[in-house]
Amino acid sequence: MENKIKVGLFGIGLDTYWPQFEGLLEKLKAYQEQIKDRISGFGVEVIDAGMVDNPKKAREAADLLKSHDVEIVFLYVSTYALSSTVLPVAQKLKVPVVILNLQPVPQLDYNGFNDLGDRGKMTGVWLEHCQACSVPEIASVFNRSGLQYDFVSGYLEEDEAWTEINDWTEAARVAVVMRNNRLGILGHYYGGMLDVYTDLTKQSATFGTHIEMMEMCELKKLRDEVTAHEVENKIREFNNVFDVVPECDASELERAARTSVALDKLVQSHNLGALAYYYEGEPGNEYENIVTSVIAGNTLLTGKNIPVAGECEVKNAQAMKIMDEFGAGGSFSEFYLMDFKDDVVYLGHDGPAHFAIAEGKVKLVPLPVYHGKPGKGLSIQMTVKHGPVTLLSVVEGKDEVFLLVAEGESVEGPVLQIGNTNSRYKFTIKVKDFMNQWSKQGPAHHCAIGVGHIAGKLEKLGQILQVNVVKIC
């Protein structure tokens, strides 16, 4: 339990009803227990404050949920209830409230209902299915109180509703991960990339991320201490994870493996969950030797839930971490070219990739030159798995940090065999419209690409973090 995030749950009803309608309270409590069990199945700890049916119980529920430091609260509207039983809880907790407007059934058995013949019993059955009545009342009060909330409307056995509820628990978990994440910065920005430069304080303020500044000399020290046995094991890992092409020189494999072992130790010693890096060094310098041999090792780290962004793109390391925590991967990408005949855009990058979301096995290939960067060495050639994808950019605008999102498809077709990651992407809007709309939001030229359509989850994460989410398509 100690590794699970805590989410709150409470139901609302009206205590006036219980003596009037026999068995109503018991039925509503049973529905709430069913909801609790389903949410618990999503891998979270549910703190259930029970049925709140008067203002006194509302204050007690608020105290209980506050004491457990819940990340979000699910409010089950079991029947009509007064908004005065809700407001004290939301005001005290100051976390997002997800209002569950879930009927017991998708459709009332109207004939059976009317055949009951007893208007008192009929009213009790109606109230058992009267979840919708309080929903606008609660929204009205929350709007006027400036409180954050959203709805899930449906019925208890509806898959769509439970998918939404699961998305909320996932978004809350990712928010916690980002709040506790330690992001390392190794080296410095690529000179002149003004879009990549970021306000580290804003990143910490938005996501809660700790920024760890690190030195190349520490990585060199760790690399100097790497043993021959460690190098052999790492080369074995390269061969297991990558398709190492025959053109890869043994000395280059040894150089990359030594650096990869040192990177693993650097990440472990600083307890990093993500890394942004860039360095050049003077020609022939030891640091240049290190930085031109990091791609294979950083790709391994990226595929193991420690995303690594090149060119010191801190914002994109954040985006990659978010995507990876949602189980979507998150590969470092930039725009390569547009194909107006096939109406696709190519995105890819040199440097580290996310091998876990590749179409087929990732190739480790030699490059005679790193374009725009010093030196030469090994590189990654891969295409993102064909099928639905989501693009995410953490954008630092003039006044705010926000999330920029698009859903599309990774599609088959020719790719550039240049020792870089690159894939073909198609969207529901024309490629020229996509480029214009995406670019106009002012992101850096990098983004994170993950598999699956997860814009809905990202929008929920935005609500929890209280940042805007802009979806292009």
The mean pLDDT of 292-312, rounded to a whole number, is 95
Q: Around Cβ 374, how many Cβ atoms within 10 Å?
A: 15
In percent, how much of the chain has pLDDT > 90? 90
Residue 152 corresponds to which tokens in the numbers above? 């899930």
| Residue 21 pLDDT > 60 | yes
Confirm if 448 and 333 have CB atoms less than 8 A apart. Answer: yes
Confirm if 424 and 311 have CB atoms less than 8 A apart. Answer: no
Half-sphere exposure of 291 (CA within 13 A, CB side): 27
Q: Around Cβ 215, how many Cβ atoms within 10 Å?
A: 11
Please give the DSSP secondary-structure letter assigned to residue 420.
S
| Residue 399 pLDDT > 70 | yes
Band of residue 350 on the pLDDT scale cut at 50, 70, 90 = confident
Mean pLDDT is lowest, of 109-123, 211-225, 335-349, 370-384, for 370-384
Domains and CATH numbers, the chain: 6-159 (3.40.50.10940), 181-471 (3.20.14)
| Residue 120 pLDDT > 60 | yes
Mean pLDDT is lowest, of 42-46, 351-355, 387-391, for 351-355
| Residue 1 pLDDT > 50 | no
Confirm if 85 and 44 have CB atoms less than 8 A apart. Answer: no
H helix or E strand, kind and range, residue 22: none
Q: Which pLDDT belongs to residue 432?
A: 96
The mean pLDDT of 421-432, rounded to a whole number, is 96
DSSP secondary structure letters along 91-134: HHH-S-EEEEEEESSSS--HHHHHTT--HHHHHHHHHHT-GGGG
What is the rounded CA–CA span in Å between residue 303 and residue 346?
22
| Residue 369 pLDDT > 90 | no
Band of residue 50 on the pLDDT scale cut at 50, 70, 90 = very high
pLDDT greater at residue 143 or residue 371: 143
Cβ-based neighbours of 14, under 8 Å, separated by 6 or more:
53, 79, 80, 81, 82
Q: Which pLDDT belongs to residue 377?
A: 85
Mean pLDDT is lowest, of 182-186, 236-240, 352-356, 466-470, for 352-356
| Residue 74 pLDDT > 90 | yes
pTM of this prediction?
Answer: 0.94
Mean pLDDT estimate for the chain: 95
Q: Which pLDDT belongs to residue 408?
A: 98
Confirm if 278 and 197 have CB atoms less than 8 A apart. Answer: no
| Residue 419 pLDDT > 90 | no
Band of residue 283 on the pLDDT scale cut at 50, 70, 90 = confident
| Residue 363 pLDDT > 50 | yes
Q: Which pLDDT belongs to residue 368?
A: 81
Please give the DSSP secondary-structure letter assigned to residue 54.
S
Q: Around Cβ 150, how many Cβ atoms within 10 Å?
A: 15
What is the rounded CA–CA span in Å between residue 179 and residue 273?
11
